[in-house]
Amino acid sequence: MLLFFTLGLFVHFVFFVSIFDIYFTSPLVHGMTPQFTPLPPPAKRLVLFVADGLRADALYELDENGNSRAPFLRNIIMYEGSWGISHTRVPTESRPGHVALIAGFYEDVSAVAKGWKENPVEFDSLFNESKYTWSWGSPDILPMFAKGASGDHVYTYSYDAKTEDFGANDATKLDTWVFDNVKDFFDTARNNQSLFSKINEEKIVFFLHLLGIDTNGHAHRPSSRDYKDNIKKVDDGVKEIVSMFKHFYGNDGKTTFIFTSDHGMTDWGFHGAGHPSETLTPLVTWGAGIKYAQKVSAQQFDDAFLKEWRLENWKRQDINQADIAPLMASLIGVPFPLNSVGILPVDYLNNTDLFKAESMFTNAVQILEQFKVKMTQKKEVTLPFLFTPFKFQVVQDLVASLLTFPLSHFVGYLLVFTVGIEVLVLSFFYRYMLTAGLIVFAGWPFLTKLWTQAKITSLSWTVFSLLLAVFPLMPVVGRTPDISLVMGAGLLVLLLSLFAVPSLIKRKGSLAKEELLVHLLQILSTVLSMYVVYSTNSSLLRKQGLPLMNQILSWAVLASSLVVPLLSSPALFQRLFSILLSLMSTYLLLSTGYEALFPLVLSCLMFVWIHMEQETLQQSGISCKKKLASIQFSYTMDITQFRQLYLDDIRRAFFLVFFLVTAFFGTGNIASINSFELASVYCFLTVFSPFMMGALMMWKILIPFVLVMCAFEAVQLTTQLSSKSLFLIVLVISDIMALHFFFLVKDYGSWLDIGTSISHYVIVMSMTIFLVFLNGLAQVLTTKKLRLRGKPKSHHM
């Protein structure tokens, strides 16, 4: 058993770690051959303006007076160049946005190792492929592209990082600094022969990073006057820079201008996720190699932006953000960035069909080169028999083998299995899926012969299934404490306890007296729990704090909850009932409202489940040697009583997994521990102690788990099935769920989406590993016997 436990932990630990190796290893490869269009490019130089944090609608829309906030750029759209929307990808942050623009690939997920602050792997970019690049702007962006550049041809000019102050009165000074320094740079070049020579070379890039709009958006929101006025300042600055370039180069017509943004911003001044206000950014291009403005009579888009912006008569051409990198490379004739996945937007090009065709071919070869290198690398680290080219024949054989099954049986089994697994997976996103599953469970006896064979048992199963189905519909966050429900749950427990007293009194012998004493002790524990809950709540309402005696009683009940059941009889239902009473006493202390009823209803369904499985066993023709009343839990089992696995055992294992997930999401779960109220632990302590409070709330989560696992121990015993066999089926089902979440792990999207997808996988994998621990705990609680006098021993059948 120890070897099995150790091996299981190791295997699932490997699975757990594997997601970081598979999903969060850099996808970038190196060693590709540079690809460039062999024909002469239309431009000698390119000027890239990136207005950080600028939304598409903020630039294109007209103000309340019907005027444009950026008249120069709007004039470009209507008369000189091409325009559209650049669709960014999440996470909509500055670093991945600029990498997509300048290097042509999206978020490198291995950046998680660097806290998302920088790209941990060197990459090729337009700047690296250029003859020279000069850049001005934020110290957070510019060094990233100079760091990985080969040689000394990427020059950066940044202001002090302290200047990026969200609380500053005028963030437009960040953009003014850039425009002023570019002007000073060209003034200097006129008197510096070496610099003058460089900026008159071909294949050069000028990059202006404008951070003022983003800073004002964070500080004042995009709807603010500061944000909108900053757009006007940027438009004026771009106009001045364009005029300066034309004058400096003597209107030679060899300069291409591109104006865009790295990401947008929400109405409340944030970005990072996938809202359209964050992913839709402007793109305006003009100059050498760019098509002139095109007037059209109609355009087909799914949105109403054209009409809102009054640009419905000017051709709009949307592209993906990474497509801008190959566009810029083709315009100045440099190799496409080696790691780029962008697709050349040929509709922006004003050139011959031959040039467009050659550029498209170069783009395709450049992307193919990455595939070839990636395939070679994968082949080198993969066993030969596991790395084979895809053949349509691994498909024909599979279909042929599946067709050998009777179609009706195959479709039925596949449908039931698929729906069951999907319900479990969807329950992680939508708790009400558990309600749907429990409603189906309620109808199970009526779909079989169980209803005619055991009407009372079947009716009980249906009633408790429907009662349990209510809990996933109840709210998790924002529950209003209702002590009356806790007291009601306590009274129900007492009522059930009192029903068992007469049968214990009738029994004779020293063991019977001992068992009666234990039972009365548990009744007393329930009464004390009810008293402590009521007394503590009253004291706190009077603002008198937690009474010391209540605190002592609470910890005493908690300490005894795992010991007292071991003093009870190992008879199946007596031991299970004893476990319920002890754990319910603790659960009452940790409850504030309706959740106090959850373990009680869950346990009632578990008791009926044991009876139902006994009935299904008889229905299938498997002989039952003992009645439920005479079965006892035993630590050492007679393996001659075990039977082989049947198809129905898969259903039993599925029931267990479903009940475990229901226990997990019934009232609260570890995935949303902030949904638990601190009032849950006020019977134990009121002084803030995160670790102690967290441990108590964790135990509250585990109690329903323990109840389900103890019932499962009884199911294994009554159905004469080896615990290892049935438990392995459970692990297989759990691992299929884990595999499902494995493929749902995201290495794209907002960082919140990525983190949530990892959390789901971790929860399922942890639950799989945790089943091993729960199985061991359930075995101890059900099979171990302590005596009030004498040595402890384990009972045998």
> How many Cα neighbours within 13 Å face the side chain of 366?
29
pLDDT at position 463, please? 95
pLDDT at residue 276 above 80? Answer: yes
Would you say 400 and 392 are in contact if contact means Cβ atoms under 8 Å apart? no
Which residues fall within 8 angstroms of residue 475, CB to CB, at 6 or more apart?
none
Helices H, strands E: what count in the chain?
29, 10
pLDDT at position 72, please? 97
Q: What φ, ψ does residue 405 adopt, rounded to 5°?
A: -80, 150
Residue ranges of E strands in 177-302? 204-210, 255-260, 280-287
Here the contacts of 96-99 (C-beta below 8 Å, separation 24 or greater) are 97/261, 97/262, 97/263, 97/321, 98/50, 98/141, 98/144, 98/145, 98/209, 98/262, 99/123, 99/125, 99/144
- Report the share of the chain in percent with pLDDT over 90: 44
> Is-cis flag, bond preceding 91, omega within 30?
yes
pLDDT at position 671, please? 44
Would you say 775 and 730 are in contact if contact means Cβ atoms under 8 Å apart? no
> Residue 793 has which token pair?
């021993």
pLDDT at position 410, please? 66
pLDDT at position 396, please? 56
**Which amino acid appears at position 457 of this protein?**
T
pLDDT at position 674, please? 41
Strands 280-287 and 255-260: antiparallel
Please report, for residues 235, 284, 349, 362, 446, the alpha-carbon distance to residue 319 in angstroms, rounded to integers and kept in the order given. 22, 12, 13, 19, 57
pLDDT at residue 222 above 90? Answer: yes
Mean pLDDT computed over 657-673: 72
Got the DSSP string for 170-197? -TTHHHHHHHHHHHHHHHHHTT-HHHHH
Least confident window among 639-643, 665-669, 694-698: 639-643
209 three-state secondary structure: strand
Q: Within a 10 A sphere around the Cβ of 585, how many other Cβ atoms?
A: 27
Q: How many Å apart are CA 704 and CA 599, to the nearest integer?
A: 6
Q: How many Å apart are CA 483 and CA 471, to the nearest integer?
A: 17
In this prediction, residue 476 has a pLDDT band, given cuts at 50, 70 and 90, of low
Least confident window among 328-342, 584-598, 731-745, 758-772: 758-772
Q: How many Å apart are CA 204 and CA 781, to the nearest integer?
A: 75
In this prediction, residue 430 has a pLDDT band, given cuts at 50, 70 and 90, of confident
Please report, for residues 47, 138, 140, 147, 543, the alpha-carbon distance to residue 208 in angstroms, rounded to integers and kept in the order given. 8, 9, 13, 18, 62
Residue ranges of E strands in 193-331? 204-210, 255-260, 280-287, 319-320
pLDDT at residue 780 above 70? Answer: yes
Would you say 532 and 553 are in contact if contact means Cβ atoms under 8 Å apart? yes
Got the DSSP string for 21-80? HHTSS------PPP---SSPPS-SEEEEEEETT--HHHHHSB-TTS-BS-HHHHHIIIII
Which residues fall within 8 angstroms of residue 77, CB to CB, at 6 or more apart?
83, 284, 293, 311, 314
Least confident window among 163-172, 245-254, 306-315, 347-356: 163-172
Beta bridge partners of 155: 134
Mean pLDDT computed over 573-593: 91
> Residue 563 has which token pair?
């010991």
Strands 132-137 and 154-158: parallel
For the chain, domain boundaries: 41-351, 422-479+567-634+647-783
Mean pLDDT computed over 553-581: 89
The rounded Cα 697 to chain-centroid distance in angstroms is 23
pLDDT at position 117, please? 54
Mean pLDDT computed over 660-674: 66
Please report, for residues 100, 240, 615, 622, 697, the alpha-carbon distance to residue 111 in angstroms, rounded to integers and kept in the order given. 14, 37, 56, 58, 34
521 three-state secondary structure: helix
pLDDT at position 466, please? 95
pLDDT at residue 300 above 90? Answer: no
Mean pLDDT computed over 126-151: 85
Alpha helices (H) along 620-689: 647-665
**Which amino acid appears at position 700 of this protein?**
K
In this prediction, residue 740 has a pLDDT band, given cuts at 50, 70 and 90, of confident
Mean pLDDT computed over 18-39: 79
Q: What is the pLDDT of residues 490-529, one digit of tens each?
A: 999 999 988 888 877 877 766 778 888 888 999 999 999 9
pLDDT at residue 358 above 50? Answer: yes
Would you say 297 and 291 are in contact if contact means Cβ atoms under 8 Å apart? no
Would you say 92 and 264 are in contact if contact means Cβ atoms under 8 Å apart? yes
Question: Mean pLDDT: which of 108-112, 732-736, 745-749 is highest?
Answer: 732-736
Q: Give the mean pLDDT of the chain.
A: 84
301 three-state secondary structure: coil
Would you say 498 and 526 are in contact if contact means Cβ atoms under 8 Å apart? no
Between helices 572-589 and 751-783, what is the axis angle to 10°?
Answer: 130
In this prediction, residue 637 has a pLDDT band, given cuts at 50, 70 and 90, of low
Q: What is the pLDDT of residues 387-416, one digit of tens each?
A: 666 555 474 544 555 555 566 766 777 788
Mean pLDDT computed over 651-671: 79
pLDDT at position 43, please? 97
> Residue 493 has which token pair?
């427990």
Sign of CA dihedral 54, 55, 60, 61: negative
In this prediction, residue 796 has a pLDDT band, given cuts at 50, 70 and 90, of very low
Q: What is the pLDDT of residues 448-474, one digit of tens each?
A: 878 888 889 999 999 999 999 998 888
> Residue 148 has which token pair?
């990985």
- Which among 290, 306, 289 has a CA at the least distance from the CA of 298? 306
Q: Is residue 151 packed enough to be buried (19+ CB in 10 Å), middle (13-18) or exposed (0-12)?
A: exposed
pLDDT at position 404, please? 59
pLDDT at residue 673 above 60? Answer: no
pLDDT at residue 109 above 60? Answer: yes
> Residue 476 has which token pair?
């998790």
Alpha helices (H) along 542-571: 548-560
pLDDT at residue 606 above 60? Answer: yes
**Which amino acid appears at position 417 of this protein?**
F
- Which among 693, 675, 678, 679 has a CA at the least distance from the CA of 537? 679
CATH 3.60.15.10 for the 41-351 domain, yes or no: no
Q: How many Å apart are CA 230 and CA 282, to the nearest integer?
A: 15
Question: Mean pLDDT: which of 155-164, 269-278, 392-401 is highest?
Answer: 269-278
In this prediction, residue 129 has a pLDDT band, given cuts at 50, 70 and 90, of very high
Would you say 710 and 573 are in contact if contact means Cβ atoms under 8 Å apart? no
In this prediction, residue 478 has a pLDDT band, given cuts at 50, 70 and 90, of very low
Which helix (H) or strand (E) element contains residue 47? strand 45-51
> Residue 162 has which token pair?
């302290």
382 against 237, higher pLDDT:
237
pLDDT at residue 366 above 70? Answer: yes
pLDDT at position 148, please? 58
Sign of CA dihedral 419, 421, 423, 429: negative
Q: How many Å apart are CA 488 and CA 66, to the nearest integer?
A: 66
Least confident window among 46-60, 208-222, 240-254, 392-406: 392-406
Q: What is the pLDDT of residues 674-713, one digit of tens each?
A: 445 667 888 998 776 778 888 888 888 889 989 999 998 8
Least confident window among 21-25, 427-431, 642-646: 642-646
